[in-house]
A = this chain, B = another copy of it.
Amino acid sequence: MAFCARLLRRQLVLALRRPVDIGNPLLFFAMVVALFPLGLGPAPGTLATFAPGILWIVALLANLLTADNLFRGDFDDGSLEQLLLSPQPLYTSVLAYVLSQWLVTGALLALLSPLFALMLNLAPGAIPTLVCSLLLGSGVLSLVGGIGAALTVGLRRGGMLVALLILPFYMPVLIFGSAAVQAAVIGAPAGAHLAILGAMLCLALALAPLAIGAALRISVDA
């Protein structure tokens, strides 16, 4: 556990010493959100209808942008093999990696999303649901993205292959996430959708680290 906390701290320190990596997804998010009104013409009605979908898609894409980097640096400089050789349980180590990545992308985006929601005229009442769904959903995205990253980290050309592998798995999250916000917009209860997202998160939390660990062991051998 202490090791896990140390790993988490190390990852966060690394992220903070290279702020571009944190800033880029946020900037991307802001830009794309800004683009939609430009593309659509700023009729507040249309925008509001599609705001849930737009916000969710953009969050997903922002996640996609960073997924490949999760283990890349540590693989390239040999830190990853040291981790695999250390007697620490891989399950928790992997969880710490994913958690750190989630904190600087998914969580950060979720917390900033009210701002962007206002830009898109989302009904203010739906904002809590939006934040909740993004918090839960981006957790699943990060975990699933971790599997893709782990499977491809040993390959010389990751980038697009990761996207290929994980996008199909992202789709259910997108559907339930945007549906939750959609429901909140029309005043329907969104609890069921959020519950499903939560169930997905639990499942992913239980299984994804196992898959990631297995994939990492395979990848150092690629």
Interface of A toward B, CB cutoff 8 Å: 17-21, 23-25, 27-28, 31-32, 34-36, 38-41, 46, 49-50, 52-54, 56-57, 60-61, 64-66, 69, 152, 156-164, 167-168, 170-171, 174-175, 178-179, 182
Nearest B residue to A49, CB-CB: B40
Interface majority SS on A: helix, strand, loop or mixed? helix
In the A-B complex, the 8 residue pairs with the closest CB atoms: A39-B53, A20-B159, A40-B53, A19-B160, A39-B57, A31-B167, A24-B160, A39-B178
Q: A28-B164, A65-B65 in contact; A39/B56 too (CB < 8 A)?
A: yes
Nearest B residue to A105, CB-CB: B160
Complex CA–CA separation, A58 to B117 (angstroms): 20
Complex CA–CA separation, A182 to B31 (angstroms): 19
Complex CA–CA separation, A32 to B66 (angstroms): 15
Complex CA–CA separation, A158 to B46 (angstroms): 34
- Distance from A130 Cβ to chain B, minimum over Cβ atoms (Å): 13
Q: Are A168 and B39 in contact (CB under 8 A)?
A: no
- Distance from A107 Cβ to chain B, minimum over Cβ atoms (Å): 16
Q: Are A57 and B69 in contact (CB under 8 A)?
A: no
